[in-house]
Structure 1
């Protein structure tokens, strides 16, 4: 049985072709790749898959509810998805083109924990988004 089938069943989801295809796209994503529902829909169309955009949204919402994917909401209503992973990481988002990059900085995590402790808090979850302009030609536009 394929790994994606096992993951879907483990999450309590029935194995269907759209779910498998969408999971495969997310699974094959490069390190730090994040896809919008529209990105996934376009990739499915390029592969000749007959999956509607509404189905992509529905499956991604089901995956999110099952804990298979993380949804990141960025400014301007921009949402992207990635497979859920155990390690914490943060994001840098280009405000012009929407490009998202991941980073992990252990010193930053230590500092956040120290700040929380100073304020009498125990961190149960954390999310950090840095916004700027990427160097992929956006700053020249």
Structure 2
């Protein structure tokens, strides 16, 4: 984790972003939970527990700054709550997500199966694709075991042309 902290601090310094005491505390909370997707409220509670003196608005502003700086990524997994995760490197693609509709658990996977599709879409449309996002919605193993009658598919069909 020390290495990750050093890398993220360096990336902020390269963009002339000053690390105040509160920003350091927010960064530390994100790094401590770098394997999770934290909401602003989650980060606020972690920092408040560790430091005591921080406002929720400060956390929101800091997360927005870190997101714009590219050291975290913001995502909404369909529940209206923006969650943040650490971006450890400048890789062109983020990992992808499996979102459990039962318990809300978010599982990451890193296989990039869309590179060929990206290239084909780019060639066909003339659109220069620089990134993509992929999420699968369903039920995790635990939720399937708890409720074997979980719907096989909860999707509505929408045609986009």
1:136: how far off? 3.8
Unaligned 5+ runs, structure 2: 148-161
CA deviations on 1:2-52 (whole Å, 9 max, x unpaired) are 725433322321221111111122223344x21111111121122243111
Check if 1:116 corresponds to 2:121.
Answer: yes
Point out the structure with max Rg over C-alpha. Answer: 2
Check if 1:71 corresponds to 2:74.
Answer: yes
Distance 2:62 2:122 in 1: 39
Contact persistence 1:26–1:82 (CA under 8 A): yes
Equivalent position to 1:18, from 15, 22, 30: 22
Number of matched pairs: 138
1:128: how far off? 0.7
RMSD (CA atoms): 2.5
Report the TM-score, using the length of structure 1 for normalisation.
0.79
Report the TM-score, using the length of structure 2 for normalisation.
0.71
Question: SS at 2:97's partner residue?
Answer: strand
Change (3 A) 1:52 1:136: farther
Equivalent position to 1:46, from 46, 49, 62: 49
Equivalent position to 1:100, from 102, 106, 126: 106
Unaligned 5+ runs, structure 1: none
